[in-house]
């Protein structure tokens, strides 16, 4: 990964309290896993931003390296990598996701 790409991803993660690297965007997810994440965050009623990895192949590859996680979507809350769709579903079902997003929004 180039230092420029790492800086670009660093800034995206830092500048957005809740950020999802996904296929498509929050209005039009392009895969079921990305759609799951969008639906969960919409259910929680929290503001979040999305980055469409399909429109930027450099970020699509770079984010996997950045997080050391092989799949998309990838969810970051307060700069912390949480995981993908399965992990988000699990955290949501346990009630832990609501806590994390409330802390992020309050900070």
pTM tops 0.85, yes or no: yes
In a domain, 106, yes or no: no
Cα separation of 79 and 53, whole Å?
A: 18
In a domain, 107, yes or no: no
Structure tokens at 101: 């997003």
Three-class DSSP category at 56: coil
Domain around 41: 3-100
Helix (H) or strand (E) holding 74: strand 74-77
Q: Residue 77's pLDDT band (boundaries 50, 70, 90)?
A: very high
Q: Residue 22's pLDDT band (boundaries 50, 70, 90)?
A: very high
Domain count, the chain: 1
In a domain, 105, yes or no: no
In a domain, 72, yes or no: yes
Which CATH number is 90's domain given?
Answer: 3.40.30.10
Task: Note the pLDDT tens digit of each residue in 89-98.
Answer: 999 999 999 9
Mean pLDDT of 37-60: 96
In a domain, 48, yes or no: yes
């Amino acid at each position: 990964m180039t230092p420029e790409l790492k800086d670009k991803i660093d800034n995206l993660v830092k500048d957005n309290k809740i950020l999802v690297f996904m296929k498509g965007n929050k209005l039009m997810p392009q895969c079921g896993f990305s759609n799951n994440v969008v639906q969960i965050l919409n259910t929680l009623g929290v503001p979040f931003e999305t980055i469409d990895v399909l429109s930027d192949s450099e970020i699509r590859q770079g984010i996997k390296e950045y997080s050391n996680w092989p799949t998309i979507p990838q969810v970051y809350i307060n700069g912390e990598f949480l995981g993908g769709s399965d992990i988000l579903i699990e955290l949501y079902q346990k009630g832990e996701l609501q806590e994390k997003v409330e802390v992020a929004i309050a900070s």
